[in-house]
Amino acid sequence: MDCLSELALDKTAIKELPLSVELLVGLTRFNLDDCKNLVSLPITMNGLKSLASLTLSGCSKHENLPETLGELKRLRVLNVDCKRLQSLPELSSNIQLIDVSGRTSLETLSNTLRLCNSNLSNISCGNCLKLTGCSNMAFSMLKEHLNKKAPNLREI
């Protein structure tokens, strides 16, 4: 089904999405704000080839995102506010904004994306109380960005 471009299931009591969600190949925006009973997304999310924005704010029972999110080459915005979320999968280098603010269980952002070829312009992880290594991550991101922009400079 390629004619549906936006789907908003905000504040519904949905517990899980059907595997057939991957048939929504024309979907560009998918909002699941405040779906407090949503436990997980189906592994078949990689069928959403046109998806540019995914919002999962307030999904308090959601724990993991499928690894197949990294296969979504058009995904630009990922907004997840899920208190039980512990990690993020490796994402496409086309992603521009990641907002994981307000998570209390997120422990790492390692391997979330490969920054050298990334279009990432904004990452927000405020109030992630368990997130470790933020200063090291920030330094690593800066170092990688500088090395990309000026590869002939001395090693930082």
Q: What residue ranges define each of the domains in the chain, with the CATH number in brackets?
A: 6-149 (3.80.10.10)
The pLDDT of residue 81 = 83
Written as tens digits, the pLDDT of the chain (156 aa) is: 678 999 999 999 999 999 999 999 999 999 999 999 998 899 888 999 999 999 988 888 887 888 898 899 999 999 888 777 777 788 888 888 888 776 546 655 555 555 445 666 666 665 554 545 454 555 555 566 566 656 655 554
Question: Residue 8 — φ and ψ, nearest 5°?
Answer: -115, 115
Lookup result for tokens 């993991």: 64
Q: Which region, left, alpha or beta, applies to residue 7 given φ > 0 means left and ψ of -120 to 50 means alpha?
A: beta
The pLDDT of residue 54 = 95
Q: Which region, left, alpha or beta, applies to residue 138 given φ > 0 means left and ψ of -120 to 50 means alpha?
A: alpha
Lookup result for tokens 């999968």: 89
Determine the Cα angle at 91 with ends 85 and 92, to 5°: 160
The pLDDT of residue 135 = 47
Q: Which two tokens stand for residue 79?
A: 């907004």
The pLDDT of residue 116 = 46
